[in-house]
Amino acid sequence: MSGLMLDDPDGTLEMLRDSVAGFAERFDGPEGFRARRDAGQDLDRTVWSAMAEAGWLGLHLPEEIGGAGLGVAEQAVLSEALGRALISEPLAQLSVFAGVLLAQGDGAERDRLADGLIAGTAIVSPAWQGRDGAPAPLVARVHGEDTVLTGALCHVSAPVSATDFVVLAEAGGDWMLLSVPAGAGGLSVDAAPTLDGAQLGQLTFRDVKVPGNAVLARGNSARAALEAAVATTRLALAAEMAGIAAEAIDRTVAYTRDRVQFGKAIASFQVVQHRLVDMWSDAEFAQAAVVNAVETLADGPGKAADLAILAAKARAGDAAVTITRRAIHLHGAMGFTDACDIGLFMKRAVALNATLGQPEELRLLFVAREGVAA
Amino acid sequence: MEAQQDWNALSDDAFREIFREWVDANCPSGLRFMRKQRPVFDEVAEWYHLLAEKGWLSPVWPQEYGGMGLDAGKHIVYVEEWARLGCPRIPDHGIGLTGPLLIQYGTPEQKAFFLPKILSGEHVWCQGYSEPNAGSDLASLRTSAVADGDGFIVNGQKIWTTLAHCANWILLLTRTSSDGPKRQNGITVMLVDMTTPGVTVRPIPNLRQETDFCEVFFDNVHVPSANVVGEVDQGWALAKAVLGHERIFLGAPSRPEYAIRRLERLARDRGAFDDAGFVARYAKLRLDLYDLGSAFERFARVLRAGGTLGPDVSVLKIFCSELYQRITEEMLTVAGEDARYWDDLPTGEGDVDAMNLYLDSRAPAIFGGSNEIQRGVLAKGVLGLPG
Ligand SMILES: Cc1cc2nc3c(=O)[nH]c(=O)nc-3n(C[C@H](O)[C@H](O)[C@H](O)COP(=O)(O)OP(=O)(O)OC[C@H]3O[C@@H](n4cnc5c(N)ncnc54)[C@H](O)[C@@H]3O)c2cc1C
């Protein structure tokens, strides 16, 4: 048994899996990872355009704004397959997160961004976090029609390639989401390399002025949009990590079956077998947790979905990180090289696991949300 | 080089005091607590030469060969103070490996030629044991050495050779015969000048994207017979014997010690000590480190009493390398969202190389006999289990 076991009455999920498999033949994941990293880039625009062409970027966006209108199951299957293939462009942030924010907004500017996002012509990057990862709204001052923004935002994906940012700001206790063009006056970008061969940025806003129509959502709907984006992206990340976990175990089984020491395959040593079985069972639990979250969310948002998503991201994160770590060990010194792909899976797993909450934090949120202690 | 006194006649405390005072005054501050675990020779040359002048470069070599002649107990003090003061690791294959091997098994000519050149830094050594198909199963090595006139012609490949790209001599295990019933027979130890035609070194970028280890290729490389150590075909026992009491240092707590200081720095900066969950996990790690010290002492005491180490010392290496990993894993938890970044993390007390340590901590569980191999040693050698 392997992969996300989800109902697939019309074969859409299978088509998506095939589509990623075909894509990975044209754009090798590990090679792309190294190339982007070595070039110091935050995004491979060629790969990104091909992802747009494949129809992946607008997969979950509603049809009214040009998306494919597909559900969480499709998104999870796509993310899982990308994880397996180690196609590591920041789809979770630039398509899922940004897409959910846009879907919850309205107005002409929203439509322009959604069109660009889906076509791959605009790189729309959400910017809303402080250093510690929590929401850290910019200070917004309203000047007639314009809004003036000050402050700093961290952990921004594709900070150099982005054409537009969707930023979180606050005015008089009210949250709002605004569209800010990448070249806006007073906006500066500091990019730093990530573990998974990309760049994340810190954006500094010094009196950045945007027009009134830049506001995509405000008040409760801005809050709700952000919450929905976090939850949906956590689920996509969980699926991606479940894919990484499954791929890492497959590769390690193959490697240890092949690698001969003391006259036999190292996979024939019982201690290695037991390690592999433990790794496999962690991957199975991760898959099960993701399927549970997909199905629970498909029944509608709410407490049950919140819990299932927190559980899935925590479980899949732990699984992906520990499986890849043990996989490196079972590869011996080979696993300690940059040339061996297994290390890239480990780095990607660590980076995704640290995105939008590490397992311990998520488990604490789960328990708090369940409300047993209160 | 300064004349040496009889260090072993001093109490451990007296020796510790003298050693620490000089090292603290002389080890360049820019080299203390280096981020890099494995600096290359040029980066630490100043410190290397200072130690050599003082006569303190080779703690265990007998004084007649330019060492300090420390017994195991004093050697432990030396290593402990070295770590406490944050001195950098120096390229030490000559001091720790080739030197002791030659002192024990070398000819008078080999000793006279090679030992002074190790002390002067003229020869920088690396260890050519592992091969692509001979890792845990080292005895299956195949790099061949065929007798040819007054020497041997060597063909084959070594891999994972640490610092080979800045070494000029390699201590090589070769296969000189494969007729015997046991694969351990037929292995020969050779001293090979890496500038000999036919030797090619290719660095291998590692998980940290640094080049600490290399592949070394041998294409019809001529090695004079005078460079064979011990008897031809009898090298396996030599290679095994040379480690001796030094096996205790595979479990020396210096790496987890360094890592936990960095964890504490990060935790203070991020306010993690206000988090009861973190404090409980930190306390566990802290006491594991503390107790590793006690376990280390248990073996050190055997050595101080003039005893020899048994297979049970492997327990230190396993515990130490796994503790190092657990500490670095906790660092990434404390780093939170910052665990996505490649670079060192800034804190109010200076940078913390969380990711560097996390990646580095994968290695000690693999090298020096992987932890599975060490557990096998304990199972058979200590518990006497069958199979
Ligand atoms: C950073 C680093 C530096 C090194 N420097 C040097 C150097 O300077 N010179 C040198 O000669 N070598 C060096 N090595 C090589 C090192 O000695 C080998 O990596 C080690 O012996 C393991 O061999 P391997 O990598 O081929 O792994 P393998 O032997 O292929 O092992 C792969 C996995 O299988 C497991 N395994 C193997 N056999 C068994 C068994 N019987 N039972 C259970 N599990 C088993 C191992 O534990 C490991 O997890 C270095 C390695 C590293 C990582």
pLDDT tens readout for residues B236-290: 999 887 777 788 889 989 899 999 999 999 999 999 999 999 999 999 999 999 9
When pLDDT is averaged across residues B130-152 and rounded to a whole number, the result is 96
Structure confidence by residue, pLDDT tens digits, B188-218: 999 999 999 999 999 999 999 999 999 999 9
What is the tally of helices (H) and strands (E) in chain B?
A: 12, 8
Q: Is the beta carbon of A261 within 6 A of some atom in ligand 1?
A: yes
Residue B110 lies in a domain: no
Residue B136 CA, ligand 1 centroid: distance in Å: 5
CA distance B248 to B258: 18
- Which CATH fold topology does A124-218 show? Butyryl-CoA Dehydrogenase, subunit A; domain 2 (2.40.110)
Residue B295 lies in a domain: yes
The residues with which B147 forms a beta bridge, in sequence order, are B152
CA distance A263 to A274: 20
Half-sphere exposure of A86 (CA within 13 A, CB side): 27
Q: Is the beta carbon of B168 within 6 A of some atom in ligand 1?
A: no
Question: Of B224, B215, B229, B173, which Cα lies nearest the Cα of B196?
Answer: B224
> How many domains, in total, are found in chain B?
3
Among B37-41, B201-205, B264-268, B291-295, whose mean pLDDT is lowest? Answer: B37-41
The domain in which residue B194 lies consists of 125-238
B342 and B255 both lie in a single domain: yes
CA distance B225 to B147: 9
Residue B101 lies in a domain: no
B355 and B248 both lie in a single domain: yes
Give whole-number Cα distances, A100 to A72, A126, A226, in Å: 12, 10, 8
DSSP string of B57-76? S-SSS-GGGTS----HHHHH
Q: Is the beta carbon of B26 within 6 A of some atom in ligand 1?
A: no
Among A121-130, B29-38, B120-129, B356-365, whose mean pLDDT is lowest? Answer: B29-38
Residue B67 lies in a domain: yes
- Region for residue B367 given its phi and psi (left: phi exceeds 0; alpha: psi -120 to 50; beta: otherwise): beta
Chains A and B form CB pairs within 8 A to the count of 105
pLDDT bracket for residue A2 (50, 70, 90): low
**Cβ contact (<8 Å) for A339 and B365?**
no
pLDDT bracket for residue A373 (50, 70, 90): confident
Q: Which of B46, B72, B90 is the last residue of a domain?
A: B90
B295 and B188 both lie in a single domain: no
CA distance B77 to B83: 10
Task: Given CATH 1.10.540.10, say whether it is the number of domain A12-119.
Answer: yes
Q: Which of B178, B211, B238 is the last residue of a domain?
A: B238
B227 and B269 both lie in a single domain: no
Tell me which residue has its CA closest to atom 9 in ligand 1: B161
Q: What are phi and psi of A44, to 5 degrees?
A: -95, 105
* Active-site hit among B46, B215, B246, B322: B246
Residue B330 is among the residues annotated as catalytic for this protein: no
pLDDT bracket for residue B182 (50, 70, 90): confident
Q: Is the beta carbon of B367 within 6 A of some atom in ligand 1?
A: yes
- The answer to whether residue A1 scores a pLDDT higher than 50 is no
B260 and B374 both lie in a single domain: yes
B210 and B334 both lie in a single domain: no
CA distance A347 to A344: 5
DSSP string of A167-211? EEEEETTEEEEEEEETT-TTEEEEEEEBTTSSEEEEEEEEEEEE-
Q: Is the beta carbon of B372 within 6 A of some atom in ligand 1?
A: yes
How high is the pLDDT of residue A198?
Answer: 98
B188 and B251 both lie in a single domain: no
When pLDDT is averaged across residues B340-358 and rounded to a whole number, the result is 96
pTM: 0.97
Where do the CATH 2.40.110.10 domains begin and end in chain A? Answer: 124-218
pLDDT bracket for residue B150 (50, 70, 90): very high
End-to-end alpha-carbon separation of chain B, Å? Answer: 52
Q: Please give the share of chain A, as a percent, with pLDDT higher than 90.
A: 93
Residue B114 lies in a domain: no
pLDDT bracket for residue B1 (50, 70, 90): confident
Q: Which CATH architecture describes the domain A222-370?
A: Up-down Bundle (1.20)
Q: Which of B238, B271, B296 is the last residue of a domain?
A: B238
Q: Are B374 and B319 in contact (CB under 8 A)?
A: no
How high is the pLDDT of residue B304?
Answer: 85
Structure confidence by residue, pLDDT tens digits, B210-239: 999 999 999 999 999 999 999 999 999 998
User: How high is the mean pLDDT of chain B?
Assistant: 95
Q: What would you report as the CA-atom Rg of chain B, rounded to the nearest whole angstrom?
A: 22
B80 and B135 both lie in a single domain: no
CA distance B297 to B291: 10
Q: Are A199 and A88 in contact (CB under 8 A)?
A: no
Give the 3-state DSSP-derived string for A75-131, with helices as H, strands as E and coil as C: HHHHHHHHHHHCCCCCHHHHHHHHHHHHHHCCCHHHHHHHHHHHHCCCCEEEECECC
- The answer to whether residue B323 scores a pLDDT higher than 60 is yes
**Cβ contact (<8 Å) for A358 and B340?**
no
Where do the CATH 1.10.540.10 domains begin and end in chain A? Answer: 12-119
B199 and B301 both lie in a single domain: no
Residue B16 lies in a domain: yes
Question: Of B262, B329, B337, which Cα lies nearest the Cα of A194?
Answer: B337
Half-sphere exposure of B303 (CA within 13 A, CB side): 22
**Cβ contact (<8 Å) for B205 and A339?**
yes
B220 and B152 both lie in a single domain: yes
How high is the pLDDT of residue B257?
Answer: 93
Structure confidence by residue, pLDDT tens digits, B154-165: 999 999 999 999
How high is the pLDDT of residue A277?
Answer: 98
**Cβ contact (<8 Å) for B358 and A350?**
yes
**Cβ contact (<8 Å) for B136 and A132?**
no
- The answer to whether residue B38 scores a pLDDT higher than 90 is no
B227 and B247 both lie in a single domain: no
How high is the pLDDT of residue B180?
Answer: 73
Residue B354 lies in a domain: yes
Q: Please give the share of chain B, as a percent, with pLDDT higher than 90.
A: 89
Residue B174 lies in a domain: yes
When pLDDT is averaged across residues A299-306 and rounded to a whole number, the result is 94
ipTM beyond cut 0.85: yes
Tell me which residue has its CA closest to atom 51 in ligand 1: B367
Burial track A89-114 (b if 16+ CB lie within 10 A, e otherwise): bbbbbbbbbbbbbbbbbeeebbebbb
Q: How many Å lie between the alpha carbon of B213 and the closest alpha carbon of chain A? A: 9
Give whole-number Cα distances, B275 to A361, A368, B278, B280, B356, in Å: 11, 16, 5, 9, 25
Where do the CATH 1.20.140.10 domains begin and end in chain A? Answer: 222-370
pLDDT bracket for residue A32 (50, 70, 90): very high
How high is the pLDDT of residue A374?
Answer: 64
Tell me which residue has its CA closest to atom 4 in ligand 1: B160
Q: At CA B196, angle to CA B190 and CA B201, rounded to 5?
A: 85
B365 and B276 both lie in a single domain: yes
